[in-house]
Amino acid sequence: MDKSKWIEVYRTMKLIRLVEQRINDEYKYDEIKTPIHLSIGQEAVAAGVCIHLRKDDYIFGTHRSHSQYIAKGGDIKKMIAELYLRKTGCARGRGGSMHLVDPDVGILGSSAIVGGNIPLGTGTALASKLLGNDRVTVVFFGDGAADEGTFHESLNFAALKKLPVVYVCENNFYAINSHQLSRQVGDNIHKWAQGYGMPGYQVDGNDVLEVSDYAEKAISRCRRGEGPTLIECLTYRWKGHIGTVDDVGEGYRPKEEYDYWVSRCPIKRFAEFLKSRGVLTAELEKSIDREIYELIEDAFRFAQSSPKPSPDELLDFVYAE
């Protein structure tokens, strides 16, 4: 990644972290009446990938999509308003946390069906090919989604048609409480790619520079019309699967495992790197935090003061005009 983008990537990761923490803090007031899946700990993946995307490129996310929405440049006010299920939300209160959308920046919607977004992103990539444009699609999904048929069917098709799509697996080792090794043989996800006829890589998903390097290559490969790539990013979620619970040491995830991954915090690591290079000063760090804080304040104020949909709108949008 070009040096000039370092601070932007850092800011994106920080923005994701702070938005997620604020959601975490507000959740207890029960005004965000929708299931949430926080990405704290996984910020480097979305940030490292999306930095290389253009506004008109597409992404498709999952139930855990706050990070991707933010990294792709989705409108934060509309995102928070959606979490509050307000009329001003990005999906007008019909979607909630798991269904974020912002077509203006290529976010065509996220799916809460595990693996469900993989064909859709393969389809937008097909459209790019049929229309002869160079728009790239990135599909984000978890290790759990690699269990699904849609993952395998879509990779096969994308390779067959050389579609401009990058499959980014955020492997946080768990699908709810089920460990990857109780669902799949070995560390397999990136290896499947080869069988389907595309490059597949396993990268340190907590190292934003490494994620970004692989993503950059994969995305330019797409732009050159050379076809899809699978990037498996090893990472870890800090919070429990859903909501704001901490599930560590309660029979689900071992404390040592959690501590290990927290010690490898992607933001801390990158900040240290940037400081060692003299790019991030204490002053700059503070001013970024301040700017983000304002933005988040604004977004929550906007959301909390926005109207809810009215009951007479219930049947709107079942069909498009």
Partner 1 sequence: MPWTTVQVEKLGNFFITGDHTGDRVLTYRDALHEALDQFLARDPRVFIMGEGVDDVAGVFGTTKGLKEKYGANRVFDTPIAENSMTGIAAGAAMAGLRPVLIHARMDFLLLSLDQLVNHASKWCYMFGGKVPVPMVVRTISARGWGSGAQHSQCIQGMLMNVPGLKIVAPATPYDAKGLMISAIIDNNPVLFVEHRWLHKTTGYVPEEVYSIPIGKGMIHRKGEDITIVAVSYMLVEALKAAEKLREEGISAEVIDPRTLKPFDEKLLLESVGKTGRLLVADTGCKTGSVASEIAAIAAEKAFHVLRKPVRRVCCPDTPTPTSDVLEKAFYPTADDIFAEAVKLVKE
Ligand X SMILES: Cc1ncc(C[n+]2csc(CCOP(=O)(O)OP(=O)(O)O)c2C)c(N)n1
- What are the residues binding Mg ion (CB under 5 A)? 142-143, 172, 174
Q: Which is nearer to ligand X, 45 or 81 (CB)?
A: 45
CB of 87 to ligand X, least distance (A): 26
Question: Considering beta carbons, is residue 19 or 145 the nearer one to ligand X?
Answer: 145
Q: Report strand pairing: 178-179 vs 165-171.
A: unpaired
Q: List the single partner that 240 binds among partner 1, ligand X, Mg ion, none, CB under 5 to 8 Å by kind.
A: none
Cβ closest to Mg ion, residue 174 vs residue 300 = 174
**Which of ligand X, Mg ion, partner 1, none does residue 114 bind (CB under 5 to 8 Å by kind)?**
ligand X
Choose the contact partner of 64 out of Mg ion, ligand X, partner 1, none; CB within 5 to 8 A by kind: ligand X
Chosen residue from 61, 106, 144, 199 binding ligand X by CB under 6 A:
144
Number of residues near ligand X (by CB under 6 A): 16
Task: Choose among 164, 171, 145, 175: nearest CA to 231.
Answer: 171
State in angstroms the smallest separation of the CB of 85 from ligand X. 19
Residue 18 contacts ligand X per CB under 6 A: no
Q: Is 114 in the site for ligand X (CB under 6 A)?
A: yes
Query: Could you say whether residue 181 binds ligand X (CB under 6 A)?
Result: no
Span from 47-55, 75-83, 109-117, 120-128 in contact with ligand X (CB under 6 A): 109-117
CA-to-CA distance for 203 and 185, rounded, in angstroms?
A: 19
Point out which residues bind partner 1 (CB under 8 A). Answer: 58, 60, 89-95, 99, 101, 103, 108-109, 111, 113, 116, 118-131, 135, 149-150, 153-154, 156-157, 160, 316-321
39 Cβ contact partners less than 8 Å away, ≥ 6 residues apart: 16, 20, 46, 64, 66, 67, 237
- Picked from Mg ion, ligand X, partner 1, none, the partner binding residue 282 (CB below 5 to 8 A depending on kind) is none
Closest CA to 56 of 117, 108, 9, 3: 108
Torsion of CA 67, 282, 261, 100, to 10 degrees: -10
Q: How far apart are CA 272 and CA 218, in angstroms?
A: 27
CB 21 within 8 A of CB 13: no
The interface with ligand X within residues 161-180 (CB under 6 A) comprises 172, 174-176
**Min dist. Cβ of residue 286 to Mg ion (A):** 34
Instruction: Return the structure tokens found at 33.
Output: 């009446």
Determine if 143 is a binding residue for ligand X (CB under 6 A): yes
Q: Cα(151)–Cα(156) distance, rounded to whole angstroms?
A: 9
Q: Could you tell which of ligand X, Mg ion, partner 1, none binds residue 176, using a CB distance below 5 to 8 A set by kind? A: ligand X
Contact map string, positions 252 to 291, toward ligand X, x by CB under 6 A: ----------------------------------------
Buried b (16+ CB within 10 A) or exposed e, 81-92: bbbbbbebbbbb
Complex with partner 1: residue 58 or 173, whichever CB lies closer: 58
Map the footprint of ligand X across residues 22-51, applying CB under 6 A: 37
Which residues of the shown chain bind ligand X in the complex (CB under 6 A)? 37, 63-64, 112-114, 141-145, 172, 174-176, 241
